[in-house]
Amino acid sequence: MGRLGSLVKKVLARVTSGSALTRPEAPSARAPARATPAPSPAPSEPEPEGPELEVELPIPGSLLLDIREPGELASGVAEGAMLLPMDLVPHHLDELPRDRPITIYCAAGARSFGVAHWLREQGFAQAWSLSGGVGVFQSVNIPVRPPPGMVPGTRVKLPADALAGSVAVGPGVRGEVIEQRGDMVFVVIHDKQGFPVRVEAPVAGVTRG
Annotated catalytic sites, by residue? 106
What number of CA atoms fall less than 13 Å from residue 22's CA on the CB side? 6
For residue 189, how many other CB atoms are within 10 A of its CB?
18
Spatial CA neighbour of 6 closest among 102, 119, 117, 132: 117
141 — phi, psi (to 5°)?
A: 60, 30
Q: Are 64 and 103 in contact (CB under 8 A)?
A: yes
Burial (CB count within 10 angstroms: exposed 0-12, middle 13-18, buried 19+), residue 120? middle
